[in-house]
Amino acid sequence: MKKRVSLLLLAAILLVSLVLITPAGQARDLTKLGLKASYDLKGNTVTYISWTADRMKNYLETDPVVKGRLKEAEKFFNCKFHFLQTRDIPATNMARLMAGDSAYDIWNSQTRIGYYELVSQGAAYPMGDLLPEAFYKGLSHQEQQAVKILEFNGKIYGIGSTHWGGGMWNVGSMVTFYNKTLIDREGLPDPYALYKENKWTWERCDEIVRKATKDTNGDGEIDQFGIYRVRPFALMVSNGGATTRNDRSGRPVFAMDEPAALEALQLYADWKQIGAVGGRFLDGNAALDMHQVYEAHNSGYVKMKDVFSIVPIPMGPRANKYVYPHWSPEVVIIPVNSANPEAMAAINAFLFRESDVSRNLVLARHVRTREGAEVFTRIQREWAGETKYLYEAFGGATGMLVDLTIKEIINGEKTPAVGMAEIKPIIQGMLDEVFYKK
């Protein structure tokens, strides 16, 4: 009898365990988002198009939190799913639109990958005209900000994002990583202490960069560097500058020739010319590194020997607050010929949810100190849509021209003013071609 009771108890425990770890009961109440309770796509295939489609599919099929959700969505929406991985965006999207193959497509896009090309050519559906306010209020803070800044000609096209790993947390904003072990050893000011006193400025950052740069073994060569990587676009934003601005008519105009941007380029050039830029942060021979938050996970900083932490990009002399410039905001968009655009928004909301990745998990992947966790948390609340550069007309040959000019500036071949004056007409011409068609 005892054996039978034990077996029954074991079976009950196993049943409870299976309930806890399997994806049963994942159906989402879409009515809370102002949508219909259900949608019937009559067996059609929904195609996600993205440069990350393979990772997206793998996440939905293998991550313990969402495993099984894809099959549940197939039943819930009466559809099938296909994930089309391609770097050929927006050409692939436009080809499918022209051929009439995109009626059940969902397109992943970024400011630097396809977004503006697609919306400027009328290829995307203005979802803000269709979806209720409750839908957008149900998005994460990062998604809401991305949707807002990516309005085009007064229309909202984005419906949120797809995710894995960092989830819908903002890990794409740029910060300053600092090697606390190195800085303490050198007796340099602590960036976090400066930040808390609202004194984390270009001037104090410059002090650290210069004093940390040295020859430590006496061989005549610099082997400890002030900063591993510099993001000049982030410096521009941190000084109240920008790469592009909208004029009073809404027309995007080139802004890298403004004083705030020129000063950022000059600071970068100064650091480069004194040999302060180099080394490798992961190896512990660079005091600082300017990069996206996710670099802590992607480059293995969370496993490095030295203690590291993060602070915002330092404030420039023309700024009065800290900013967190995003590398490249992204949104999901729906093609203009969609057979059921509302259902596509419902599918994306069903598959990708803010609650899927916990705060503790994402913190563990990206920070190692209490101070770093505090800064990370502030980014989640305070990111206001600042980005590296919003209008990604700097791609292709034009992007190479910008990069080449910046290289000439930091190598001392041109002043920032001369370099930017030379390329301004070219960049403005591309901006006008894409965004200011009459």
Task: Give 32-66 pLDDT, tens digit per residue.
Answer: 999 999 999 999 999 999 999 999 999 999 999 99
70-74, 187-191, 206-210, 395-399: segment of lowest average pLDDT: 395-399
3-state SS, 41-69, equals CCCCEEEEEECCHHHHHHHHHHCCCCCCH
Distance CA 176, CA 178 (A): 6
Both tokens of 211, joined, read: 């004093």
For residue 437, the model assigns a pLDDT of 59
- The reported pLDDT for the residue numbered 28 is 85
At 111, the pLDDT band (50, 70, 90 cuts) reads confident
Distance CA(137)–CA(128), nearest Å, equals: 12
- Do residues 114 and 55 touch, judged by C-beta distance below 8 A? no
Q: What CA–CA distance (Å, rounded) separates 436 from 428?
A: 10
Taking 50 as the threshold, does the pLDDT of residue 424 lie above it? yes
What per-residue confidence (pLDDT) applies to 25? 44
Q: Which two tokens stand for residue 263?
A: 């000063």
Q: Looking at the chain, which residues constitute the CATH 3.40.190.10 domain(s)?
A: 19-170+329-357, 174-325+368-435
What pLDDT, on the 0 to 100 scale, is given for residue 327? 82
Supply the pLDDT for residue 104.
Answer: 98
pLDDT score for 33: 95
SS3 178: strand
pLDDT band at 88 (very low <50, low <70, confident <90, very high): very high
Q: Where are the alpha helices (DSSP H) in 352-415?
A: 359-366, 370-382, 396-410
pLDDT band at 249 (very low <50, low <70, confident <90, very high): confident
Q: Measured between alpha carbons, how far is 158 from 160 in angstroms, rounded to an integer?
A: 6
Q: What distance in Å separates the CA atoms of residue 428 and residue 402, rounded to the nearest whole number?
A: 12
Lowest mean pLDDT among 8-22, 85-99, 230-244, 413-427: 8-22
- Res. 245: pLDDT tops 60: yes
Q: In what order do the strands lie in the sheet with 330-333?
A: 80-85, 45-50, 105-110, 330-333
- Of the candidates 199, 191, 224, the one whose C-alpha atom is nearest the C-alpha of residue 307 is 191
Under DSSP, is residue 254 helix (H, G, I), strand (E, B) or coil? strand
Helix and strand counts by DSSP (H, E) for the chain? 18, 10
Q: pLDDT class for 436, splitting at 50, 70, 90?
A: low
Given a cut of 80, whether residue 330 has pLDDT beyond it is yes
Q: Would the pLDDT of 20 be above 70?
A: no
| Residue 131 pLDDT | 97
Residue with token string 């947390």: 169
User: CB atoms < 10 A from the CB of 75, how many?
Assistant: 9
Whether residue 24 is predicted with pLDDT greater than 70 in this model: the reply is: no
Q: Which two tokens stand for residue 407?
A: 């290289």
Cβ partners under 8 Å of residue 317, min gap 6 = 201, 202, 203, 239, 263
**Among candidates 326, 292, 330, which has minimal Cα distance to 111?**
330
Rounded to the nearest angstrom, the gap between the alpha carbon of residue 183 and the centroid of all alpha carbons in its chain is 28
Give just the sign of the alpha carbon dihedral 406, 410, 412, 417.
Answer: positive
Q: What percent of the chain has pLDDT over 90?
A: 73
Q: How far apart are CA 127 and CA 108, in angstroms?
A: 14
For residue 309, the cross-strand partners are 178
pLDDT, position 393: 52
Structure tokens, 14: 């196993």
Q: Residue 69: its pLDDT value, please?
A: 95
Average pLDDT, whole number, for the chain? Answer: 89
pTM equals 0.86
Q: For residue 153, is pLDDT > 90?
A: no
C-alpha distance from residue 392 to each of 29, 328, 399 (Å)? 37, 9, 9
The DSSP call for residue 130 is T
- CATH code that applies to domain 174-325+368-435: 3.40.190.10
Local structure of residue 34 (DSSP, 8 states) = T
pLDDT digits (tens, 9 = 90+) for 226-235: 999 999 999 9
pLDDT of res. 230: 95
pLDDT digits (tens, 9 = 90+) for 362-417: 899 899 999 999 999 999 999 988 887 666 555 555 568 888 999 999 999 999 99
More confident residue, 100 or 168: 100
Tokens found for residue 203? 């001037």
> Topology of 19-170+329-357 in CATH?
D-Maltodextrin-Binding Protein; domain 2 (3.40.190)
> Three-state DSSP class for 384?
coil
Phi, psi of 277 (to 5 degrees): -100, 115
pLDDT at 244 (0 to 100): 86
Taking the C-alpha atoms of residue 438 and residue 432, their distance in angstroms, rounded to an integer, is: 10
Instruction: Report, as an integer, the average pLDDT of 70-98.
Output: 97
User: Could you tell me if 83 and 56 are in contact, meaning their C-beta atoms sit under 8 angstroms apart?
Assistant: yes
Q: pLDDT tens, 162-196? A: 987 677 888 889 999 999 999 999 999 999 999 99
Give the helix/strand (H/E) hosting 257: none
